[in-house]
A and B are shown apart, each in its own frame.
Chain A
Amino acid sequence: MKGKHVLRDNVLLGLGLALMIAALYMVFVYVPTEKHTGIVQRIFYFHVPLAWSSFLAFFVTFIFSILYLWKRATKWDTIAHASAEVGVVFTTLVLITGPIWAKPVWGVWWTWDARLTTSLVLWLTYIAYLLVRSYVTEPARGARFGAVIGIVGFIDVPIVFLTVNLWRTQHPTTIIFEGGLTTPMLMTLLVCVAAFTVLYVLLTIQSANLKSVEADIKQLKSTQAE
């Protein structure tokens, strides 16, 4: 399977590398230090793309879960599973970098603000997704269960976000997200988003390939046992 997409994979790898180097340059050399919060603010340029990429990852899982339940082709499920795995990795990073940024800037590690809290709930939901898939013995059933959770979990996201938003606006906190972005900041952010999106795609492809081979071997072993 890897042989089929050699060109695509290499192009992606090259693109990803180039974007990541460009992103690092822009974050650490190009963009000026933000006035109010200082040098720590540069975490923002990786924290936000990680959040958006994780959201993309779970959206992909959602779409491919529906596709799988509809068409029942294993490849859809493999992508959904792999995407959820990468999504959990990225969300973990969001939840770690968020507090690292928050502490020096706002003085607290955690604020129950809507975005971070939704990330936390997403993290828990898709960890449950991964756990269910690992605790189910038959692959077809695991795929179906995963698809159901992938769909149900994603639908919860807007509800959680709106609810927590409402919940927090009742307790006005001192946290105000900074105002506008200057053009250099916006450019830097966009490059970083592109870099992390490509990284997400690369990692998901790699993970999906692994899972596909795993499934093939499992099938070979079971037919060999007969």
Chain B
Amino acid sequence: MENLGYLLAAYTVIWAVIFGYVLFMQRKQRGLQRQIKRLQESVYKSEIDDK
């Protein structure tokens, strides 16, 4: 069971990086959704202003 530490390290890094990337994408997506909301609001506002 020698070198178990290395094995653990390798698999931990793999999962950490992959999950990190997924989280990174999720955070970007939330940011984009916020921007969509803001755009929708401003479109809504300008529609009201036009009327």
Contact = CB atoms under 8 A, between A and B. Distances in A.
A39 B39 contact: no
A207 interface: yes
Contact of A210 (B10, B29, B39, B43): B29
Contacts of A101: 6, 10
B21 interface: yes
Contact of B7 (A42, A50, A93, A96): A42
B21 A39 contact: no
Given A46-B11, A210-B25, A210-B32, A40 B39 contact: no
A100 B14 CA distance: 11
Q: Is the interface of A mostly helix, strand, loop or mixed?
A: helix
Given A89-B21, A104-B6, A210-B29, A46 B14 contact: yes
B3 A50 contact: no
- Indicate the size class of the contact surface on chain B: 20 to 34
Nearest to B5: A104
A39 B3 contact: yes
Nearest to B43: A224
A97 interface: yes
Nearest to B21: A89
A50 B13 CA distance: 13
Contacts of B35: 217, 221
A224 B6 contact: no
A206 B3 CA distance: 36
A100 B6 CA distance: 6
A46 B8 CA distance: 12
Contact of A97 (B14, B18, B21, B22): B14
Interface in A66-99: 86, 89, 92-93, 96-97
Nearest to A97: B10
B37 to A, nearest CB: 11
23 contacts: A38-B3, A39-B1, A39-B2, A47-B10, A89-B17, A89-B18, A92-B17, A93-B13, A96-B13, A97-B13, A97-B14, A100-B6, A100-B10, A103-B6, A203-B18, A207-B25, A210-B28, A213-B29, A213-B32, A217-B36, A217-B39, A220-B39, A221-B35
